[in-house]
Every structure is written in C-alpha cells, then in structure tokens.
Amino acid sequence: MADLTQATRENLAILIEGIKTKLNMVNTAVMRPEDFDLESYDDLLYLYNMVQRKGAFSINEMTAIVEELGSLRRQK
C-alpha cells in the first residue's frame, strides 16, 4: 500500500483512480491524473478519503464531488 501522505504523481494517480472507481464514473476519460497539479494534492486526498469512507452517494453528493474535482483540474 502506498503512503498517500506523500504528494507524488504516482499517488495522485492512485487518488484519482480510487475516486473514479468508488463513484462508478462512466466517462472516466474526463478525469485523468495528468489533468491535476500536485498543488491540489491535499484537496484531492481529502476528497479521496471522504469518498472511500462512504458507502453510497446521492445524486446531489455525486454532483458536488464531480464539481469539486472539476474546480481542482488544471486550467488548459
């Protein structure tokens, strides 16, 4: 198991993949690890931990999580 307290590109990929898996995201191509900067790592780690603890998500919760992830994405 990786030490997710370390902000590395590899850990960032683990966080993103874990969030996508837990949320059963259909269009996973819109959320790629390379779209996020390490400056957002702490926020992504918080979201990851929250998502992993929860069993199910309401539509409103899913929307809020996806919107938060969108706000953390690197602007192109």
- Domain annotation covers residue 46: yes
**Domain assignment of residue 27, given as a range:** 9-72
Number of domains comprising the chain: 1
Q: What is the pLDDT of residue 1?
A: 66
Distance of CA 22 to the CA centre of its chain: 10
Kindly report the three-state secondary structure assignment for every residue of the chain. Answer: CCCCCCCCHHHHHHHHHHHHHHCCCCCHHHCCHHHECHHHHHHHHHHHHHHHHCCCCCHHHHHHHHHHHHHHECCC
Q: What's the pLDDT band for 76 if we cut at 50, 70, 90?
A: low
Tens digit of each residue's pLDDT (9 = 90 or more) over 4-38 = 999 999 999 999 999 998 988 767 677 889 999 99
- Domain annotation covers residue 4: no
- Domain annotation covers residue 27: yes
- Domain annotation covers residue 1: no
Q: Per-residue pLDDT for 39 more than 90?
A: yes
Q: Per-residue pLDDT for 41 more than 90?
A: yes
